[in-house]
Amino acid sequence: MPTASQDATGTHPQATTPVDPNAIDTPIPDEAFGATLSIARPPRMSASGTGFDIVLQVANTGTSALYGAGAKQVNIGVQILGDNDDVEASGGVRDFMRAGLPHLPQGAQSDVVVTVPADQRLDGRKLRLALVQEHVRWHDDTPEKRIDLGPFRICGSQVCDAAGQPLPN
């Protein structure tokens, strides 16, 4: 039996999280999904020194909102490209990491900081950044829908460019 501070389901009303009205809980149809990605600021060492930051500009060119909240949220997915720049080849990692998107209604754009950890799996490899609708699909099927960066090197505790020079702070 619920106590005086619980509702009929036995939960504390003040403990419930408000529902985000912009959350994406259903798949976005391909014809409604559109975005362009561009580099707003090239890679730089993160303030913590444990990785590097890429500032990516995301512009919503589709008719559906994009947002990193909900059961079918849209995020920036980061992949490590394997041999021959193929994520499925040796050394590739499809689900390396994610960065959430702010709410982007149709026509909106935003700069998003993607902080990539200094991981040994990056050594000598390129990264691919693309949008992914979780549990639905990656939107990386054409060069216009993705950004490839690198290769990167791990130089001690720092991340370096292909020539072995540490990324700027």
Give the mean pLDDT of the chain. 89
Q: Is the dihedral of CA 9, 14, 20, 23 positive or negative?
A: negative
Residue 50: pLDDT band by 50, 70, 90 thresholds?
Answer: confident
In DSSP notation, the chain reads ---TTS-TTS--GGGSPPP-TT---SPPPGGG--EEEEEEEEEEE-TTSSEEEEEEEEEE-SSS-B-S-STT-EEEEEEE--GGG-TTSTT-EEEEEEEEPPPB-TT-EEEEEEEEE--GGGBTEEEEEEEEETTTEEE-SSGGGEEEEEEEEEETTEEE-TTSPBPP-
Residue (of 116, 67, 112, 68) closest to 96 by Cα position: 116
Quick check: 18 pLDDT over 80?
no
Q: Are 144 and 136 in contact (CB under 8 A)?
A: no
The pLDDT value recorded for residue 123 is: 93
Residue (of 90, 78, 92) closest to 148 by Cα position: 78
Residue 8: pLDDT band by 50, 70, 90 thresholds?
Answer: low
Could you read off the pLDDT of 102-120 as tens digits, one per residue? 999 999 999 999 999 999 9
pTM: 0.84
Taking residues 35-51, what's their average pLDDT?
A: 91
